[in-house]
Structure formats: C-alpha cells, structure tokens
C-alpha cells in the first residue's frame, strides 16, 4: 500500500468573509452531492445523502474516487441545505477527498440543527475539524502511524498483498472493518475472497464489502 503526501492541500480552504468582526459567510467547496445507499461500515444499507468535499491531503495509488480532484462548486450552508432537502433521508455522510482539511464543525452543527444525523468518512488527517459529528469512520492510510482515538469505527482497505499483521497488532475498543481494495466501480473478487478469509480467521473483525459496488449503484 503506497501513499503520497500532498502538502499543498493541507490548508483550510473554507473561505470565511468577516463583517463587523463576525463570520457571516462560509463557503463550502463541494465536489458533488448525491443520494445512494451506504455500502460500508455499521450503517451499511442505510439510504444516505453523500456530500463529497473537494481535495485531499493524500494521493493514494488505489483511490477509487477521482471526482474530488476535478473541481468544485461553492455552497453556502443555506444553499446546501436547500439542495439536500429534496432527499427523504436524514442520514448524511460527509466524505471526500479528505473532509478534515476543512474546519467543518460549524457546518456539522448547522446540519444537526436541521435534524440530520451527520457521519464523516476521514483518513484521520484532523479529527478535531469534525469532532461534532454523530459518527466518524476512520480509514488509516499509513498503517505505521494509526491513531488510537477520535473515531467511532475504523476501516482498513485491504488487498491480498496488504501487511495484515499490522491490523492484527492494532488495539482499539471500536469495531474494525475490513474492506476489499476494489476497482473504481466494481468489486475485485480476489481481494474480496482474501478479506472474507481474513475475517473468518479473525472474528473480531467484520467485512465491509462496498455494497454499492456489488449493487452497481453510485
């Protein structure tokens, strides 16, 4: 598993314009918004609104989402609320890219104030930027520096060549999910088979199959 740091992205890019000393405009840089089924982790199967933020602090070789690099549309909180209000679910997933490159707690509190359950998917760059979320899924990319707190569940993306002993050495009281390293839009059945055997041999782990790819939905 390889990864590259992208230090140029490690900046807060929410733009805040102040007026009389108070924040009155916060623009969110959004790559896309869509409605689908959560295919991973504890909430697998849950109809969910996905809000994908622009950009990431890493450039993983196996990244299955390139939309986050292509560009963004700016939304105010109210504009985003209006966009998502057409969907019937109140389960909202903030994803990326890497959402914690932004200070998102004000946005998360705004959504919770409108009765959304807010889950975040992160590589753990800055947990403090999403600490108000209802649920945080941590997917560590550098397995030599796995963090021990700040998350609700942890998900490892695993291929048949992964150094899985590092997962077995990792201690946490949170549920650990094993997710096959899949193709961009489809399931890699060799990695899936490897992951199934891995969790069968280590039943404290659970399989996170990326259900949406098996179902061939977004």
**Could you tell me the smallest distance in angstroms from the CB atom of residue 60 to ligand SF4?**
3
Fill in the per-residue mask, 70 to 109: x = in contact with ligand SF4 (CB under 6 A), - = not in contact: --------------------------xxx-----------
Q: Does 67 bind ligand SF4 (CB under 6 A)?
A: no
Smallest gap from residue 88 Cβ to ligand SF4 (A):
28
By CB under 6 A, tell whether 60 contacts ligand SF4: yes
Closest by Cα among 107, 75, 90 to 35: 90
CB-nearer residue toward ligand SF4: 97 or 209: 97
Applying CB under 6 A, among 49, 56, 93, 178 the residue interacting with ligand SF4 is 56
Could you give the 3-state DSSP secondary structure of residue 34?
A: strand
Buried b / exposed e over 201-211, threshold 16 CB at 10 Å, is eeeebbbbbbe
Structure tokens, 109: 């509190």
Question: Nearer Cβ to ligand SF4, position 67 or 90?
Answer: 67
Q: Which of 141, 162, 167, 213 binds ligand SF4 (CB under 6 A)?
A: 141
Bridge-based pairing of strands 73-75 and 135-138 is unpaired
In the list 32, 38, 100, 123, the residue contacting ligand SF4 (rule: CB under 6 A) is 123
Binding range to ligand SF4, per CB under 6 A, among 20-28, 30-38, 61-69, 142-150: 61-69
Instruction: Give the whole-angstrom CA distance, residue 48 versus residue 34.
Output: 9
DSSP run (H or E) holding 179: strand 175-180
Q: Which is nearer to ligand SF4, 59 or 169 (CB)?
A: 59
SS3 content of the chain, % helix, strand, coil (to 5): 25, 30, 45
Q: Which is nearer to ligand SF4, 54 or 116 (CB)?
A: 54
**Member of 1, 37, 44, 63 binding ligand SF4 (CB under 6 A):** 63
Q: Is 65 among the residues that bind ligand SF4 (CB under 6 A)?
A: yes
CB-based burial, 134-143: b 16+ in 10 Å, e otherwise: ebbbbbbbeb
- Tokens 């520096």, residue located: 145
- List CB contacts of 88: < 8 A, sequence separation 6 or more: 47
Task: Tell which one of 37, 44, 58, 196 touches ligand SF4 (CB under 6 A).
Answer: 58
Contacts with ligand SF4 by CB under 6 A lie at 56, 58-60, 63, 65, 68, 96-98, 123, 141
């Amino acid at each position: 598993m390889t990864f590259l740091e992208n230090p140029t992205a490690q900046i807060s890019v929410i733009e805040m314009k102040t007026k009389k000393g108070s924040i009155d405009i916060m623009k969110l840089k959004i790559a896309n918004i869509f409605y689908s089924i959560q295919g991973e982790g504890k909430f697998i199967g849950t109809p969910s609104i996905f809000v994908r933020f622009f950009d990431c602090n890493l450039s993983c070789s196996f990244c299955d989402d390139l939309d986050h690099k292509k560009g963004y549309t700016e939304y105010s909180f109210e504009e985003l609320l209006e966009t998502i209000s057409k969907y019937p679910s109140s389960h909202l997933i903030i994803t990326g890219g890497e959402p914690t490159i932004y200070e998102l707690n004000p946005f998360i509190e705004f959504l919770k104030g409108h009765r959304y359950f807010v889950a975040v998917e992160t590589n753990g760059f800055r947990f403090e930027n999403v600490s108000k979320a209802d649920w945080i899924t941590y997917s560590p990319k550098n397995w030599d520096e796995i963090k021990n707190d700040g998350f609700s569940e942890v998900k490892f993306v695993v291929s048949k060549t992964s150094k899985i002993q590092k997962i077995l050495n990792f201690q946490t009281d949170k549920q650990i999910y094993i997710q096959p390293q899949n193709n961009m839009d489809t399931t890699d059945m060799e990695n899936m088979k490897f992951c199934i055997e891995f969790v069968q041999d280590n039943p404290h782990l659970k399989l996170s199959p990326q259900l949406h790819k098996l179902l061939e939905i977004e």
